[in-house]
Structure 1
Amino acid sequence: MKIKRFLSRFRDLFSYAIFGFMASVINVFVYWGAHHVLGWGYLLANTLAWLLSNLFGFFTNKSLVFGSKYTNFTDLVIEIVQFFVFRGMTFFLDTGLMFVGISLLKWSSMWTKIADQLIVGIVNYVTSRWTFRKENKEMIARGRQLARKLHESHRHHD
């Protein structure tokens, strides 16, 4: 019984760990292929790896980890924008860590990439959790409703 409660309480974290690990594997392998096989510069390879792993991350986080269900196109667009705004911030963290590890500290690019993915993964969990939380969606919906009421009251007073 305690194990079931524990697993239920931390379901999002466990699910995210699995799918976050899969996104990191995609990130590392795309980076390796672009940089080590195709000979791209490490920053360009890192950008491609970020883009592909985050596309995977959006859809798995949305549906499989946090169980987010949008009711209309606008809600889907809001989720996509929030997700990629936060991930855009971690892209700069990712790129900065790669630059420091490879260019300044002269570490191996693959070891730097793996360490980078551990740090970025933690930050991504926090921001994904915020993006797909039901309470945040309700707060956004209330804000939209309030904005509509304010807009309507302005129209009636004009």
Structure 2
Amino acid sequence: MLERISYYIKKYESVILYLIFGVLTTLVNFAAYHICYTKLQFPNLVSNTIAWILSVLFAFITNKIWVFKSKSFEFSKLAVELSGFITARLFTGFLDTAIMFVGVDLLKRNWIIAKIVSSVVVVILNYIFSKLFIFRKNKE
């Protein structure tokens, strides 16, 4: 039984770590927004932008080091990975906004259902972009 559990943990290690660090990234986002908006009294959009930047940087670092185990810290490799990561996150951020607009404003659906659908789509796409394009392993 323990061997089987160990096998599946090893097999799906990157997915498990991605989900764990995804939760932590969400906490970074919420905490940063809360501090900026309620404590520092920055405007909503400024607070949200700061929270997004901090959470994307946190996600990049944790994804690079622990989830996808990209070991290179050479400047050119780091720049390519970071720019690809930010581009993908911008794309999925716009997609999230579009799904919410269509679901809530156009279709008049419950915002929670729209947010769940959006979150599932965004998490899957972020994982695919990171695994296949951003932190892909070089075949040597």
TM-score bracket for this pair, using the shorter chain length: 0.7 to 0.9
Mapped contact 1:31–1:49 kept (Cα < 8 A):
yes
- Cα shift at 1:36: 6.9
- Residue 23 of structure 2 aligns with an amino acid whose one-letter code is F
The question of whether the paired residues in 2 share the 8 Å contact of 1:28 and 1:114 is answered with: no
Does the 8 A contact of 1:28 with 1:113 survive in 2?
A: no
Question: Which residue identity does 2:70 align to in structure 1?
Answer: S
Query: Residue 24 of structure 1 contacts residue 53 of structure 1 at CA under 8 Å; is this kept in 2?
Result: yes
Tell me the equivalent position of 2:43: 40
**Paired amino acid for 1:65:** V
How far is 1:13 from its partner?
0.3
Alpha-carbon distance in 2 for matches of 1:64, 1:48: 24
Give 1 or 2: higher helix fraction.
1
Instruction: For residues 90-143 of structure 1, give each alpha carbon's deviation from its aligned partner in whole angstroms, at most 9, with x where no partner exists.
Output: 1211333444566554866xx589634444222212212221121xx449xxxx
CA RMSD of aligned residues (A): 3.2
Residue 60 of structure 2 aligns with an amino acid whose one-letter code is F
Write the distance in 2 (CA, Å) between the matches of 1:113 and 1:25. Answer: 20
Q: Distance in 2 between matches of 1:118 and 1:32?
A: 24
What is residue 136 of structure 2 aligned with on the other side? 133
1:120 aligns with one of 114, 119, 122:
122
Find the aligned partners of 1:27 and 1:82 in 2 and give their Cα distance: 20
Over 3 Å counting, the alpha-carbon distance change for 1:52 and 1:127 in structure 2 is same
Distance 1:61 1:8, change over 3 A: same
TM-score, normalised by the number of residues in structure 1: 0.66
Greater displacement, 99-108 / 3-12: 99-108
What are the within-5 Å matches in structure 2 for residues 1-158 of structure 1?
1-31=3-33, 38=41, 40-41=43-44, 45-70=47-72, 72-100=74-102, 105=108, 111=112, 115=116, 116-130=118-132, 131-134=134-137, 137-138=138-139
CA contact (8 A) 1:93 1:120 kept: yes
1:88 CA displacement: 1.5
Shift of the 99–47 alpha-carbon distance from structure 1 to 2, 3 Å rule, reads: farther
The amino acid of 1:132's aligned partner reads: F
Letter in 2 for 1:93: L
Name which one, 1 or 2, has greater alpha-carbon Rg: 1
TM-score by length of 2: 0.73
Question: 1:76 Cα deviation (Å)?
Answer: 1.1
